[in-house]
Structure 1
């Protein structure tokens, strides 16, 4: 039997088709937001605030709590067939994000259970890059609960660009141009926390060379920020939580110290310049602190 593999040119039509189907079936429950642009440290941050109507609807549809520990329920085993988009490979499938804030938000999920604390492997990058070759998007990974991961089953994510109808397509890129490179790895002076940056050329993205180049780049970034591989139950995990952003021409990795600040949860998209708040009080916190300070407080000090 031939291994399952994504056919070129089929993913975006499948996303559009399945989105329409999932909306009709009630399987996809988009979260409506209002948007604001807040400029800080040379970045025009996009801050989305959930509408009160959407919040009530989300609460009404939320699953009732049951006995068990956090993460005991796994929505990916089995996944909802109404959210299934495509077979990417023998190891990964593409699913729609059930409670999406950004339209056509795609999850790239391992078929069998692997931990979200596990290091990404070559198969993960092959799946991510196969999807990135199909449409203009930003890939990302929340490496652990303290990095904003809400599910413990390994999954990468990709959102289409631009991130919003107004504002810059990818806000963080306004400061990335100033990166100081030492060989293949750089540091961005405008980012006041520990991180590592690399320039990348994924085209043609689906090639074996592009996959290996991205995989090698990822390991170089881990090494640059001092994250190591540790063995846990026969699986290689990272030594600390982190966020990874993968764009067609660059990669950014940020170690994390905590999942939230003043009640505001931050995942990898925060380091792309896109934050999410649940109410006016949280919006006021971001306005008072400044978005870059929010990022600095959930990241690791550049001096540590």
Structure 2
């Protein structure tokens, strides 16, 4: 009787473990990660452990093509049919063979310890390929030219993409916070299209996130109009204005995605175009994640940020080589290992300090346009940058070329839409272009304490 009980107990344990294994393998198809990728990896700060070449075969059959997960799932179904059992299995010799069960369970264990369910970022490469092949994602080929700007001593990566001029223009979505007080007779009669609201295109849809503290929800979508592979967006699930300031939960989710992107091998930086003059293409709040070359330490602007010596790490600083107002905060090197309250508090304090300086800079510009201030925010794992904006585009005085600028330009990755713009911009100076759409620096006055204003988040 005792042996019968133990055999039945073992069978139930096997069934439970197998069901869990099938469930894990299913989610492993979507969130792919090699569990042992830290063996032989390179430890980087920031970024954590980066997989080495010795684990490349496992990454191929787990991350790139989920062969291991599929085999684990099929093996799990077979073991489940054997242990449940299916009526057909009772007639087979292996049904009463303990050795076969031991071998099957051994292989099941081996397969299941090879992978685990990674974050949503792991889906990006596969979703990019799927969306591109289906035609739902439009990839625009471009040429990158490296140019060292004399005014800033920064080597810019200027990307020329004439095909992007054919990008379809969508109707603007009215900001509910602005249109609420306007008579319905004044508003457009045609219903505007918001591409960031349901129903989502299944080929562009990556997944959803929920902030643990605020319970705010986000959607991750592929960028429909891409000039680089794996460019994706973090979007507020409910409509929020692109002219509104980033909230603590926005900052936390952005930073977490950057950490996971680095671990997954999709090295990226994030940026937020805030306001009418920031270069934002959609009025629905979204943060963009722009992949860079894995051999690069970050976007070009980070080279200047890293080499800037600061006396007080807990306070913002400015990169004096840049001819326009810029405010930078150096994040703690161990921040990526923090979670929850401390992570949110650190990021929020950094952003508010930068926003305070940005608003202060705007108030020192007597001819600043009426309305909410516009600015660009650039995120890396090391720094947070905020650049106040005066206008959305710059007109070259010599040739009359109109150069639109968003956060990419201030990150050192200026995007041009015409081949003829390249030589004209190089001759005029990239630094002058950025200065033309930015503001004069008043950092010395701010250091002197003459701009001690506080930021009202309800008005941002």
CA distance in 2, matches of 1:20, 1:255: 36
The question of whether the paired residues in 1 share the 8 Å contact of 2:255 and 2:381 is answered with no
2:144 to 7, 14, 35: 35
Verify the 8 A CA contact 1:141 1:155 in the aligned structure 2.
yes
SS of 1:117's partner is coil
Q: 1:55-74 counterparts in 2 under 5 A?
A: 55=164, 59=166, 62=168, 72-74=192-194
Contact 1:170 1:273 (C-alpha < 8 Å) held by counterparts: yes
Secondary structure of the residue aligned to 1:156 is: strand
TM-score (norm 1): 0.84
Contact 1:180–1:187 under 8 Å retained in 2: no
Hey, what does 1:213 align to over in structure 2?
346
Give the alignment of 1:112-191 within 5 angstroms. 112-136=238-262, 137-162=268-293, 169-179=298-308, 181=310, 183=312, 184-191=315-322
The number of equivalent residue pairs is 283
Q: 1:29 to 1:291 in 2, by over 3 A?
A: same
* Alpha-carbon distance, 1:28 to partner: 0.7
Which secondary structure state, in structure 2, belongs to the residue aligned with residue 254 of structure 1? strand
* Residue 255 (str. 1) matches residue 388 (str. 2): yes
User: Superposition pairs for residues 1-304 of structure 1, below 5 Å?
Assistant: 9-40=118-149, 41-51=152-162, 54-55=163-164, 59=166, 62=168, 72-78=192-198, 79-89=200-210, 90-136=216-262, 137-162=268-293, 169-179=298-308, 181=310, 183=312, 184-201=315-332, 202-204=335-337, 206-226=339-359, 239-262=372-395, 263-303=402-442
CA contact (8 A) 1:38 1:291 kept: no
Residues in 2 aligned to 1:70 and 1:168: alpha-carbon distance in whole angstroms: 47
Of the two, which has the highest radius of gyration? Answer: 2
RCO comparison, higher one (Cα < 8 Å, 6+): 1
**Residues 303 and 127 from structure 1, CA distance in 2 versus in 1: closer, same or farther, beyond 3 angstroms?**
closer
Cα distance change on mapping 1:211 and 1:162 into 2, 3 Å: farther
**In proportion to residue count, which structure has more strand?**
1
The CA distance in 2 between the partners of 1:69 and 1:297, in whole Å, is 37
Cα–Cα, structure 1 residues 70 and 14, in superposed 2: closer, same or farther, change >3 Å? farther
CA contact (8 A) 1:139 1:158 kept: yes
Shift, 1:285, TM fit = 2.5
Show the counterpart of 1:232: none
Asked if structure 1 preserves the Cα contact closer than 8 Å seen for 2:252 and 2:347, the reply is: no
Shift of 1:13: 2.4
CA distance in 1, matches of 2:154, 2:275: 26
SS in 2 for 1:46: strand
Give the TM-score taking structure 2 as reference length.
Answer: 0.57
Q: Deviations over 1:110-154 (max 9, x none)?
A: 001100001111221122122112113211100012101010000
Given that residues 378 and 386 in structure 2 are in contact (C-alpha distance below 8 angstroms), is that contact kept between their aligned partners in structure 1? yes
1:79-102 C-alpha deviation (Å, 9 max, x unpaired): 322211121224111110000112
Cα contact 2:327–2:354 (8 A) shared by 1 = yes
Segments of structure 1 that go 5 or more residues without pairing to the other structure are 1-5, 229-237
- The CA RMSD over aligned residues, in Å, is 2.9
Give the match's secondary structure for 1:152: coil
Output the CA distance in 2 between the equivalents of 1:26 and 1:225: 40
User: What corresponds to 2:5 in structure 1?
Assistant: none
SS of aligned partner of 1:193 = coil
Q: Secondary structure at the match of 1:133?
A: helix
